[in-house]
Chains A and B, each alone.
Chain A
Amino acid sequence: MTPPLLRVSDLSIRFGAVEAVRHVSFDIAPGETLALVGESGSGKSVTALSVLKLLPRNATIAGSIRYGGDDLLAVPEARLRAVRGNDIGMIFQEPMSSLNPVHTIGRQVGEVLAVHQGLRRTAARRRTLELLHAVGIHDPESRLADYPHQLSGGQRQRVMIAMALANGPKLLIADEPTTALDVTVQAQILALLKRLQQENGLAMLFITHDLSIVRRIADRVCVMTGGEIVETGPVETIFAAPWHDYTRHLLAAAPRGEPLVPAPDAAPVVEARDLKVWFPVRRGLLRRTVGHIRAVDGVDLTIRKGETLGVVGESGSGKSTLGYAIMRLIGSSGRIVVMGQDVQAGSWRGLRPLRRHMQIVFQDSFGSLSPRLSVGQIVEEGLWVHMPRLTAAERAGRVEAAMQEVGLDPAAAGRYPHEFSGGQRQRIAIARALVLEPDFLVLDEPTSALDVSIQAQVVDLLRDIQARRGLSYLFISHDLRVVRAIAHRLIVMRHGTVVEAGPTAAIFADPREDYTRQLIAAAFDLDAGPQGADGPPLPSGPQTE
């Protein structure tokens, strides 16, 4: 057997009193892909960063990380710099913040070449073009002078990969490289990584929380939880016969179940006709409007009492804007009627009575809760506005009831949002909406920021509440697995327009549009999706080394 390329043994990392990683050991053989899987807070990213000693200063590291003949934890900084970027490349989750926004991509890739290989201008340029071509950027010549913001998320991640590969590393560390991307783009990036790995004989340490990605890309898997590796094995074994409880829990965690059956001809709660949200594009000295960005362009929808309408689409499809427009959080044209009242007509103040009946839950549960108010204060805020006559005791009673309904301990009302986990915070946000006893909820990606197992719990909770109260939901999500578990009917959006609409089951069984087919393929069966979703196939670029 070949000696391992990287051997991590008995690695422990602490931040002050917090032990982030405990006695972690694993090997990576040349050309192998090892996936580190775990939910947030499991210590997987910290482990990856420690390989290149990229942790913040207050971290104390024990154990050893052997690469080649060196212990990376013991070698001097100069030797470490030679390893970083040269022998071991790294890709991060968020390509926008990993690229410097004020330099062109040509310059950023060229800089890597100049620092590590001392390439001069023309040579660096030629090599940069080769690299960009290899990672599947179309027409790299014209892209060299572009800034990161001019590229799409997928293109930015390709540039990051090009930079990581620039010096022909033997090991690539990929920290959630596809998490911030849309499903179809995810599939493309994974295909690209797989191809580059085969062409160059790369070993890869792949960190992710997404098991479907693991199944597609990894050779071996380490399952992490609470800073420890609880199960290690070849990918087939782990998926076929997991023996550790946590792995089984993780595999079983995906949201499942079917939406409830609503009354067939219930009264419509929300109706929108020809809804448009256009943002003007202004140019020139006089700020003349030269065109519009059509975020939402002529959408019709009806939501009946007790029904969930799912809105799916990739980022930029206008699905969140649609939700905001229905709540009149941004201006729109067309017609929106909620419970018989025109939402767009009248003053902002005049709409206040209706707001009691329609509420919204946001994606980022941390951002949507004021960090300086206690949970009790957050939940009762709406009561102050809509039921100002309540006595303190009545208010407290309603807050308690709402917290119990979403499965929170009412005794926690005096605590602050940061003391809760992501799933609990999302429950707080739901409690804030429910305390007003609304009839209609806009759920804007309520599960996207949560771990898979928590996602399932939140979906169950939402279904329970709907069954109890006969609420109507507008459920916005990019995740078709979640939508399938909760939505009765579905609209698929792309570029602000509805591509396909109909009952959820019918759309999943027999999608009529190509775009819908691509989405479903990418979400449920990554292997079937990527090439079809890619548009033109990836160019088979020259070898990078």
Chain B
Amino acid sequence: MTALLEAPSVRPPRLSPLNRRRLDNFRANRRGWWSLWIFLVLFVLTLGAEFIANDRPILVFYKGEVLAPAFVNYPEARFGGFLATTNYRQPFIAEEIAANGWAVWPPVRFSHGTVDGYAAFSGPNPPSWLMSHQTFCQRYPLGVEDPDCHWGNFHWLGTDDRGRDVLARLIHGFRISILFGLMLTVLSSVIGVVAGAVQGYFGGWTDLIFQRVIEIWTSVPALYLLLIISSVIAPSFWVLLGILLLFSWVTLVGIVRAEFLRARNFEYVTAARALGVPNHIIMWRHLLPNAMVATLTFMPFILSGSVATLTSLDFLGFGLPPGSPSLGELLAQGKNNLHAPWLGLTGFFTVAIMMTLLVFIGEAVRDAFDPRKTFA
């Protein structure tokens, strides 16, 4: 998001007065400004999801060595076992480490896929702070006395129907949603801007043919295509990104094309042509800045749209591969487990807050670029 806001200031070392005024306008919109900061904090925090919710310690000091299990896969042999990967949550490993050193755990000791074997009930567990200490510890080997029955193993938002920690899934799912959305937004904007620029700048037959192709393309039902593809292959993150990209790049084409159509007859463009400046440089230096305002205005909305698309596909079960942390899957679980309202409520509030923040930011960006406000 910072990139979105600072993009116009890239060329000149200082902000041009116009961009200065836009930034001030953006700041003056308290709601958007605060939304941006809240969103940035959430985004940066979840970028480090491994440090917040992980079933491995961040650092381990073991027999005079410093190990970083959060980053490196150590075979269990290292700690006296025989498996290829180490399950640090196992009492055997934990005791071994405690006897020969120490471990620094993240605040939530579950990753998005970790099934809590000691969860109090089978099926969805309510948030641990709603249970008595006895109930919470009832499945641990030593009951209330068990050293592992402490707040690090709390399920702050409960577990889903497979005993996975909801908070951990939420943190990882938020990250995946935003990264997916950002990537989709940036890629489809780049493609859309290039396509729109070429159509608008060259006009004529290029424009005519390209426009007809886009019309046909947009009439392809993307959802059915996704259904068909996901029945053939299990869509991974990248396949899903690719398929959605096939259809999302057309969003910006219209606006950028219109901007280029308008601006290509500006006299300073004619002047550049008379200087013999090559077409691609004219488009980059003289025309693209005109189209950037429209593009930047649209970007936050494309981002929220992309996030919503991914969430809804996950909800329907056509999204990310099974087991991936995703907000849509959480919502689907909430729908299937109405007796466990923490699932649905968590999913709902997360998606609602995320969308609200993005829309507020988008509105503020749009208003900041509004020429009527900029020149008032």
Contacts and interface: CB of A to CB of B under 8 A. Distances in A.
B270 A356 contact: no
A77 interface: no
A329 B275 CA distance: 11
Interface string B250-274: 0000000000000000111011111
A392 to B, nearest CB: 16
Interface residues of B, number: 20
Nearest to A355: B276
Contacts of B80: none
A85 B327 CA distance: 64
Chain B binding site: helix, strand, loop or mixed by DSSP?
Answer: helix
Contacts of A369: 268, 271
Given A364-B267, A370-B285, A385 B275 contact: yes
A381 B272 contact: yes
A432 B12 contact: no
B16 A367 contact: no
A385 B268 contact: no
Interface string A344-368: 0000010110011001101010011
A368 B276 contact: no
B278 interface: yes
A468 interface: no
A372 interface: yes
A355 B281 CA distance: 16
A387 to B, nearest CB: 12
A30 interface: no
Contacts of B285: 370, 373, 381
Contact of A381 (B11, B16, B277): B277
Most buried by A among B267, B272, B273, B286: B267
Contact of B266 (A352, A360, A367, A429): A367
Contacts, number: 58
Given A370-B285, A373-B285, A429-B271, A416 B266 contact: no
Most buried by A among B12, B275, B289: B275
B270 to A, nearest CB: 6
A374 B271 contact: no
A519 interface: no
A327 interface: yes
A436 B277 CA distance: 13
A362 B270 contact: yes
Interface in A510-544: none
Interface in B274-330: 274-278, 281, 285-286, 289
A356 B289 contact: no
B274 A386 contact: no
23 contacts: A58-B376, A329-B270, A329-B273, A329-B274, A356-B276, A359-B274, A360-B271, A362-B267, A364-B267, A367-B266, A367-B268, A370-B272, A373-B285, A374-B12, A381-B285, A382-B275, A382-B276, A384-B277, A385-B275, A385-B276, A385-B277, A432-B271, A432-B275
Given A364-B267, A370-B268, A371-B268, 4 more contacts: A359-B274, A370-B272, A374-B12, A385-B276
Interface of A: 58, 327, 329, 349, 351-352, 355-356, 359-360, 362, 364, 367-374, 381-382, 384-386, 416, 429, 432, 436
What 4 A-B pairs have minimum CB-CB distances, sorted nearest first?
A: A355-B276, A368-B267, A367-B267, A352-B276
